[in-house]
Every structure is written in structure tokens, then in C-alpha cells.
Amino acid sequence: MNAALRARSLRRAYFRFALALAPAAGVVWLAWNGYALGAALLFCTVLTTMMIGTLVPRCALFGRMIKQLPQAGNEVLLTIDDGPHPQHTPAILDLLDQHGIKALFFLIGERAAQHPQLVRDISARGHEIGNHTQTHPAGTFWMLGPVRLWREIAGCQEALTALCPEHPPRFFRPPAGHHNLFTALFANALGLKMMLWSARGFDGVLTDVPAITQRISRRLEAGAIVLIHEGTPVAVEVAQSVTALLEGSGLKCIPPASLALRDDEVVVERRAAP
């Protein structure tokens, strides 16, 4: 990855970090001058704001993101996280072919390196690949510092671009949707738009396929971005159920290649997060 781009992005990240720490001076000043309650209130306000912006997946406090499709019409988008998977990816690709659906696969860089042909198969069959970090540190991604965070996003971008140079990733999805001060900054520097979702069934943690499908169904409407996963005990069953749901919904599942989003369309919200 371009060293100058990395250095410039890290400088901007550390500057942003310094700005985020500025209220600490106010907390110290208030405490030093005997305003303990004011110091506590300022500290709690800043901390709460930072935690909401970091841990609430669809909160756009720290940067622009796509939450739903901006286009008018009867369109939805299917996205599939955490691949490639040696058993699930081929089965899901066959399912998508049967239903005539094109999806956006958010892939993990190190898994892509282990299964390069699967990545090429995804692209060759008309689907799009997206950046889902190099190692998928779901539990710690929100707390990563600038250097490690850059490695996660830029490393995945480099790995996937090397495998599919004609169709490099255009979209980035953080693990579990968590992001911090630096995530959107680095994604934008790499030419990526951050994409979340509007309809999910929590299939990363649940195994009841009907319940998962029902959760997605409740949020399935025009403009929805649907999220399912590979690598779970019920991945293929969920894919079967959700593709059937999409086919019978009367909605049009658009190919990701048709997405051409301007910067002013990136933050899209129509109703409360699921």
C-alpha cells in the first residue's frame, strides 16, 4: 500500500485523536478549581458520546456511512459477511444463481488469501467483493489505535485487490458494525464507502432459522440492505430461507454493480435501527 498515503492518513488520525482529547483539559481545569460536579458531568458527557459513536453500529457520529439504499423504487441489496468459507461459499453461490440474485460479499483478507479461487469465483459469477478487515477482530476492532486499524483495512484492501484487480472493493464494513474515530477516515482515504445494514436476523449468534428469517422479514422494505453471514452453523440454511424470502417479497434485489453513490447520498436513514 502507498507509504505516502499511509503516513498522511496516520497524521490525520493522530490529529483527530488529539482533538478528541481536548475536553480532558477542561475536566482537569474544572477539577483543579473545585468544580468537581462540572468536571464529572463533562467527563461523563464526553465518554458517553464517544461510546455511542463507537459501539452503536449505525451511528454516523464519526463519519459518513450507508445505512439504506438511497434510490427510490422497489429495490433491496443482499450482503453476506465473513467469507470466503470453503463449504458455505460454493453452496451460497449456487443458491444465488438459482434465484437470480447478485450479492455483495464482505470478505476477510486472511481468509481470502487462504481461498483465493473462491474470491475469484464470487467475482466471476457477477457478485461484488467488499472489505471486511484483514483478520476480523470483532471483539476489539472498536478500540484499535490508528496503526493497527490501518493494517486491518488497508491490508484487506491490498489482499482483495491483488486477487481481483479488475474489481477491487468499493465498500467497507467494520466487524460487528463497530467503528471509532479513525475508521471512516481510513476507509475514505482508501477510496471506500462504509456500508452498514438495515435488516438483519442476528444469524451470527442465533441458530433458529425461522426466527432469523422473521427478524429480517420485519425490516424488509424498499431500500433495505440485508445482512446474513457465512461461517455459522446455519449459514446455508439461512441463505436458503432469505433468498426464498427475497424472491417472494415482490422487491427487486439489485446487483451491487449498479450502486453508484455520491458523497451526499452516503448517510441514508429512514427509520430507527433494528
Q: Is 267 a domain residue?
A: no
Give the pLDDT score at 267: 55
Instruction: Looking at the structure, tell me whether residues 164 and 117 fall in a common domain.
Output: yes
Of 61-65, 90-94, 136-140, 172-176, the least confident: 61-65
Contacts of 126 (CB under 8 A, 6+ apart): 102, 255, 257
Residue 146 grid coordinates: 490508528
Q: Is 149 a domain residue?
A: yes
Angle at 111 between CA 267 and CA 67, to 5 degrees: 10
Instruction: Looking at the structure, tell me whether residues 116 and 225 fall in a common domain.
Output: yes
pLDDT digits (tens, 9 = 90+) for 216-259: 999 999 999 999 999 999 999 999 999 999 999 999 999 999 88
Q: Is 177 a domain residue?
A: yes
* Angstrom distance (rounded) from CA 224 to CA 220: 6
- CATH code of the domain in which 205 resides: 3.20.20.370
Helices (H), 33-145: 36-55, 88-99, 109-114, 116-124
Of the candidates 229, 247, 249, 248, the residue with the CA atom closest to the CA atom of residue 239:
229
The sign of the dihedral angle between the CA atoms of 56, 230, 115, 167 is negative
Residue 61: pLDDT band by 50, 70, 90 thresholds? confident
Give the pLDDT score at 270: 47
Instruction: Looking at the structure, tell me whether residues 14 and 81 fall in a common domain.
Output: no
* Angstrom distance (rounded) from CA 154 to CA 150: 6
Q: Which residues are catalytic?
A: 81, 229
Of the candidates 238, 227, 215, the residue with the CA atom closest to the CA atom of residue 91:
238
* Angstrom distance (rounded) from CA 92 to CA 155: 26
* Angstrom distance (rounded) from CA 197 to CA 174: 11
Please give the model's pTM, rounded to 2 decimal places: 0.91
Contacts of 124 (CB under 8 A, 6+ apart): none
Instruction: Looking at the structure, tell me whether residues 127 and 44 fall in a common domain.
Output: no
Q: How many residues does this entry show for the chain?
A: 274
Residues 228 and 242: beta-carbon distance below 8 Å: yes
Strands 75-83 and 252-253: parallel
User: Residue 129: which domain range?
Assistant: 75-259
Instruction: Looking at the structure, tell me whether residues 101 and 190 fall in a common domain.
Output: yes
* Angstrom distance (rounded) from CA 181 to CA 21: 12
pLDDT digits (tens, 9 = 90+) for 173-211: 999 999 999 999 999 999 999 999 999 999 999 999 999
Give the pLDDT score at 71: 64
What one-character DSSP code corresponds to residue 271?
A: S
Of the candidates 242, 248, 251, 247, the residue with the CA atom closest to the CA atom of residue 209:
242
Of 29-38, 74-83, 124-133, 219-228, the least confident: 29-38
* Angstrom distance (rounded) from CA 129 to CA 235: 18
pLDDT digits (tens, 9 = 90+) for 131-179: 999 999 999 999 999 999 999 999 999 999 999 999 999 999 999 999 9
Instruction: Looking at the structure, tell me whether residues 35 and 161 fall in a common domain.
Output: no
